[in-house]
Chain A
Amino acid sequence: QQQVRQSPQSLTVWEGETAILNCSYEDSTFDYFPWYHQFPGESPALLIAIRPVSNKKEDGRFTIFFNKREKKFSLHIADSQPGDSATYFCAADSGGSNAKLTFGKGTKLSVKS
Chain B
Amino acid sequence: NSKVIQTPRYLVKGQGQKAKMRCIPEKGHPVVFWYQQNKNNEFKFLINFQNQEVLQQIDMTEKRFSAECPSNSPCSLEIQSSEAGDSALYLCASSHRGRGNTLYFGEGSRLIVV
Footprint of B on A, CB under 8 Å?
Answer: 31-32, 34, 36, 38, 42-46, 49, 51, 87, 89, 93, 95-103, 105-106
| Tally of contacts, chain A with chain B, CB under 8 A | 55
- Interface footprint category on B: 20 to 34
Query: Are the C-beta atoms of B42 and A105 separated by less than 8 Å?
Result: yes
Shortest CB-to-CB span from B27 to chain A, Å, is 17
Q: Which secondary structure dominates where chain B touches chain A?
A: loop
Binding site for A on B (CB under 8 A): 2, 4, 33, 35, 40-43, 45, 48, 55-56, 91, 98-100, 102-103, 105-108
Give Cα A95 to B97, complex, Å.
12
The distance in angstroms between the C-alpha atoms of A96 and B100, with both chains bound, is 10
CB distance from A72 to the nearest CB of B (A): 19
